[in-house]
Amino acid sequence: MKYRKLGRNGPEIPAMGFGCMSIGIASTYTSSVQSDEEAVKLLHRSLDLGVTFLDTADIYGDSEDKVGKAIKGRRDQVFLATKFGFVRGGAAAGRPVNGSADYVRQACDSSLQRLGVDHIDLYQMHRVDTSVPIEETVGAMADLVKAGKVKYIGLSEPSAATIRRAHKVHPLASVQNEYSVFTRDPESEILPVLDELGIGLIAYSPLGRGFLAGRFRSMDDLSPDDWRRNHPRFQGEAFAKNMALVDKLEQVASQKKCTPAQLALAWVLHRGENIVPIPGTSSIKRLEENVAALDVSLTREDMVRIEAASPRGAVVGDRYNSKMIGLINR
């Protein structure tokens, strides 16, 4: 396993992590783990491969419970990350996200219990709560560090201005954002701020919600309850145009003698030494395929070919629906 430093002053962690949303029973992807036994087997294989950075969240169904079962007896091998902020049923009540100090403390204690651990290595706010000053939220997270319940803290999908404010209260080890050949948003403002402040980027959905993994060719390949059926990039003409980009990237992957997923992951890894992708999967075979991307070397010419195949801004459709898009970059 290759390693990278998470932020200027953070720990060394595997250059690739495992995104654990896919193992939660409430996962709404076509391919997701359903049983505890499947999840434990998958995560044990991940640890055996050296992918010991596990990223979950309290909103991912029973993902934290399954992670807890998988790491029992192997806690010292794992860099454990989880997230808080989304409130179950909160959207209906008009408050989908809670960043109050009291909620931060309660959420952390609940996650510790579900995970069966005495500390969390990286505790992240899933979305910024604009009804609470970020200074209050991060201050409460800093208190968790002082109490020994958390080692490092981070934010997910914040604005550049929020990152600066938060970092003044307590150093951020990382920011988690969607980042892939298909989603280049962080390049405008987020990555420059992270480079300046010495904060790492954890790239979720590095396979473009599955587009870049070569998992499907039509909407018929998705189950009826797959949430991507309502995703803007999967609608009608947008889906067709985005698949055309995938076709071009598959040609580049063929030239490199790697899979499209490996090409996409290698691209993220080559975008900066402070970037760590966290692809998720429910398949051991796909997990092994993803890990092999660490051995895919991309030349400057390769990066140019990838850019030509899928230029920045070429993807059609927003990366979230209208409700969710309002919760990012805040």
Evaluate if residue 26 carries a pLDDT over 70. no
Residues belonging to the active site: 60
Mention every residue, 6+ apart, whose C-beta is less than 8 A from residue 62: 24, 25, 26
pLDDT for res 25: 65
Residue 14's φ and ψ, nearest 5 degrees, are: -55, 145
User: Residues 6 or more apart from 14 whose CB is under 8 A from it?
Assistant: 1, 2, 3, 4, 50, 51, 52, 53, 79, 276
Query: Using 50, 70 and 90 to split pLDDT, how confident is the model at 28?
Result: low
Give CA 327 to chain center in angstroms.
16
Q: Give the count of beta carbons closer than 10 Å to the beta carbon of residue 230.
A: 10
Q: What percent of the chain has pLDDT over 90?
A: 86
Place of tokens 């040609």: 251
Contact 290, 258 (CB under 8 A): no
Asked whether 239 and 245 are in contact (CB, 8 A), the reply is: no
pTM across the whole model: 0.96
* Among 127, 119, 69, residue whose Cα is nearest residue 103: 127
pLDDT (average), residues 155-171: 98
Annotate 164-213 with DSSP letters as a single string.
HHHHHHS--SEEEEE-SSS--GGGTTHHHHHHHHT-EEEEESTTGGGGGG
Question: For residue range 297-318, what is the model confidence (pLDDT) as tens digits?
Answer: 999 999 999 999 999 999 999 9
Q: Scanning the structure block, which residue is given the tokens 């990278």?
A: 4
